Amino acid sequence: MDAHKATISDIFNNSTLVEIPFFQRAYVWDKDLWQRLIEDMEYVVKSKKTHFLGSIILKAGREPSDEDEFDSCYTVVDGQQRLTTFLIFMKALCLLQGQPDAFNSQFRINGEEIALRLGKNDLESFEQVINMDSPNKIEIEKGKKRIIDAYNYFIENINPNGMNFTQIKSKALFVRINLDKNEDEQQIFDTINSLGINLTTSELLKNYFFSRETINEYHNKWEMVFENNEESKEYWERTVETGKNKRAMIDIFFDAYFQQLFQNKKFNVKTEDKISYLRVDKISQSYQHFIREYCNDDKNIVLNKIKEYADCFRDLFSPEICDMGVSGNFSSERLNILIFGLKNTTLIPYVLYITKNSENQDDLNKMYGIIESYIMRRMVAHASTQNYKNLFTSLILNEIKTSESLIEYLNKNDDSSLSVPVDDDIKNGFNNLKLTNLQTKGILYMIESKIRPHNSAVVLLGFNEYSLEHLMPKKWRNNWGFSAEEEKKKQRDSKLLTLGNLAIIPSALNSSIRDADWKTKKEGKGSGKEGLKACASGLVTLRETLEKEEWNENEIEKRAEWLCKNALKIWSL
């Protein structure tokens, strides 16, 4: 890597072609940044001082052929927006000053081909701007082509009398970072732009798999899968929480799909490579390494099966299921609650594997039930999720794709950190452990959805529609009249945080009801201040509770035992 300051003339020197990756995201800058550039350039001219415009990362690109006019080629890793904007600005300035040849001599290769080649989204509109021969606005439907909006803004707002083309060329500076072909551009990009928008896995892969010369293959093997219509784009671009980060569904897919590939025994992938391939921040580089080392550089081995796996993925996984009621039957819909509602996206690769490879729907539903039972038992027991990725990748590696082999594998797992919690662990979880609000909500919702009668008059809402409520409030001292020594009060404080005292309700209670005495909390205080009976009487997990005349530690323990009995019946392994 070589980093140094550079003028625009150092970047565009009449013989160098700079290419933005063909499938890069579209130009997005708006008038606030356009106006800032105008003001910066006015400052440069008035002060005659240098001014830095930011960094540009360029990577050595393709070698010129005999037909090419350029001598060298670079690919833009970072700086697409500022380079594009700067050239549009310079084009508008030259037209306004009546010097179109000044622009052409600097930014065309041998005075002919434009030296900055944009990607698919902006190529046509950029060339339309660059080929303008007079300072006229371009008529276009507002907001449709941001490139043209930028040009029109500069034509309207640049004061040509306060600008000097030559000074701007020599005083406007960039930090230019040159990478050779073997350097990891994603790592460098993400480090420099740690507070900005990182390159996504899908963007990097799209530009690796396809080029300007393979546009038909791109259309058939990518566009028809991920960009076929607005609904498709919306699905694949949706971001969801995965641990501490948010990731687009398309990036989650490519992670899951890659695990189907490198865990496949026919490729005989080395153990050390598998360890490297599991890093989600290196997926693009891992795909390239895998294709080079295990596919004899044949990209089609990966590309040819993308559609069938992507279709399966889209049918299978939907964050929107968290907004809908689910049935009590073990199913992929219930697993979506675990995955997206309870943040267990680590399950996705294995669930995709068994769904794609199972030949029997009844047995597949049994596997869904086993996975739910395993995850929920461990959640109740407050077991660590740290090694889940290793477990679920090993299930793919060992080709565990029947319910019989799955339950046998889980029960015989030698790793104590991944063992199935026994019934005593579950009882302890319900009676004594303090789980997170999200875990508690998930446990209660999944029990409720399983035990409620099929002919219930009350519709089960989606997971996201419920909130968590403490039956005995945390501020019980205000209204619950409990005279006891301090130790007993501490025991009560501890008990009210356990599962027996927690409930899901479809709408949060008014604050004056939430901390009220038990009778008021049940009955409410009239319109606008409804109690639990009005808000949640249709929930099976609260039905008997709302008949209680009083609520105390003994009742909390009884309810915990009742919930535990149902959980052990539902999640038996």
Positive or negative CA dihedral for 551, 557, 561, 564? positive
Q: Is the pLDDT of residue 184 over 70?
A: no
**What is the per-residue pLDDT for 141?**
67
* Residue 1: per-residue pLDDT: 67
- β-strands 72-78, 51-60 pairing: antiparallel
In the prediction, which pLDDT does 459 show? Answer: 87
160-174, 191-205, 351-365, 542-556: which has the minimum mean pLDDT?
Answer: 191-205
pLDDT single digits (tens) 194-210: 444 456 788 889 888 99
pLDDT tens column, 66-109: 888 888 999 998 889 999 999 999 999 999 999 999 999 999 99
Report how far residue 13's alpha carbon sits from residue 8's, in angstroms, rounded to the nearest whole number.
8
> Do 510 and 527 form a contact (C-beta atoms < 8 A)?
no
- Do residues 480 and 517 make contact, with C-beta atoms less than 8 angstroms apart? yes
Tell me the per-residue pLDDT of 478-536, one tens digit each, with 9 for 90 and over. 888 777 788 888 899 999 999 999 999 998 888 888 889 999 999 988 777 889 998 88
The DSSP line for 228-271 is: SSHHHHHHHH-EEEETTEEEEHHHHHHHHHHHHHHT-GGG---H
In single-letter form, the type of residue at position 447 comes to I
User: What secondary structure letter does DSSP report for 298?
Assistant: -
Nearest to 6 by CA among 215, 200, 170, 185: 170
Confidence of residue 448 (pLDDT cuts 50, 70, 90): very high
Span 238-256, mean pLDDT? 90
Which has more confidence, 349 or 386? Answer: 349
What local confidence, expressed as pLDDT, does residue 453 receive? 86
Q: Can you tell me the distance from the alpha carbon of 387 to that of 495, in angstroms, rounded to the nearest whole number?
A: 30
* Cα gap 43→33, rounded to integer Å: 15
Distances (CA, A) of 128 to 35, 124, 131, 135: 22, 6, 5, 13
- As a whole number of angstroms, the distance between CA 287 and CA 254 comes to 9
pLDDT digits (tens, 9 = 90+) for 269-287: 999 899 889 888 788 889 9
pTM of the model: 0.78
Rounded Cα distance between 293 and 277, Å, is: 13
**Between 284 and 315, whose confidence is greater?**
315
Q: What is the mean pLDDT of residues 313-333?
A: 96
